[in-house]
Amino acid sequence: MTSPTDTVLSGLDTGRAHRIYRHLHAHPELSMREYATADFVAAELDDIGIGNFRCGGTGVVGVIRNGEGPVVAFRADTDGLPIAEDTGLEYASTVTGTLEDGTTVPVMHGCGHDTHVTSLLTAARALVSHPEAWSGTLVLVFQPGEEVAAGARAMVDDGLWERAPVPEVVLGQHVMPLRTGTVNISHGVAMAMADALRVTVYGKQSHGSRPQSSIDPIVLGAHMIARLQTIVSRELDPRTPAVVTSGTFHAGLKENIIPDRAEFTLNIRTFEPEVRDQVLSAVRRIVSGEAAVSGAPEPLVEEIYAFPSCHNDPAQAARVEAALRAGLGEGNVSVSEPVMGSEDFGHLAEAIGVPSVFWMFGGFDLTPGEEAPVNHSPHFGPVMEPTLTTGTRAAVTGILAYLGTDPRG
């Protein structure tokens, strides 16, 4: 007997999916500035015949109603990254964008969001073409600003769940440096919470020949960064996963001037809320304490962004896993441990108190022992097939785990 997934995907137009992907990959846009991408997505939804509206600035929401049944939401993120692409692909991005400070930067889909959008648009077209295979309501959420943890919150704040039907579950997926054709799913925590902080260290400016007249913020900041590494190594249980990374350090304008301030940024990853609180408290204690022993003013610690937990409801994850195994093949689906990467996807479900399920699919042809370029690398270029077909099939299968007329999905 043909499953609803096979019915929906029969006659799949892979050529159109490839054209969509090539266009999106060649025309990425920075977070919360995905204007042309939003126009493109809305035009595709219009062509399919799916009613849609803008939400959260550059977000787009489509709603497919197909008779009685549950309501399910599926999210795809749309933003690119300030990276100069070095994949060698014929459709590689050569575009630039402008950061908030006015800096012009190269832009690339270095995290695969173009595959997410393509897969969901292709899945939506297939589902509309085969209404006999499913019943219910599907909410398509094309979300901006994932990379800066702003898009999901912006859509919710803009009335997403007042303007669209409220789902009983929110689904999503992400391409990763895994073998193409495969899917990984976690039960419980899927991805880490992330906090980004900016620390401004204040000192006292002086000539480089008179260090005794200064409070050197560079030396002070360096001591802070070194001491911050002891949070994970000396304050947390060795069995507790956490990461504290300092990604930038800026100070001074000339080699013979001790400046009056320095600035560095931190990226913190944790799985559990109590560990998050412990690490954030330790950061503030250490930077304050180091400043005090140096006779420096109190540093300024500012939040840049905070990613929520990406948590798969165990019961719903089991339901989706079973459907994925049936839809993609038993040997192509694995249960995986949580990863230290982060997502703001969880906010969409948390805002309305419903469960969510998020899984990973592979995008690279890998020989045994070979490692693929990681997300956010200038070399991150998933192979088009079977990556797009896998993403589309996984999306349809996950959706039909709830809306399908056959419980196998």
How confident is the chain (409 residues) per 10-residue block, as mean pLDDT?
85 94 98 98 98 98 97 98 97 96 96 98 97 97 97 98 98 97 97 97 97 97 98 96 97 97 98 97 98 97 95 97 96 95 96 98 90 95 97 98 69
Tell me, what's the pLDDT at 407?
40
Give the length of the chain.
409
Write the CB contacts of 224 (distance below 8 Å, at least 6 apart in sequence): 199, 201, 264, 286, 287, 290, 291, 299
3-state secondary structure of 213: helix
User: Is pTM, for the whole model, over 0.75?
Assistant: yes
- With H, G, I as helix, E, B as strand and everything else as coil, classify residue 393: helix
Amino acid 374: pLDDT: 95
pLDDT of residue 406: 52
**Helices (H) then strands (E): counts for the chain:** 12, 18
CA 216 to chain centre: 38
Q: What pLDDT, on a 0 to 100 scale, did the predictor assign at position 409?
A: 40
- In angstroms, what CA-CA distances link 129 with 3, 211, 309? 15, 74, 35
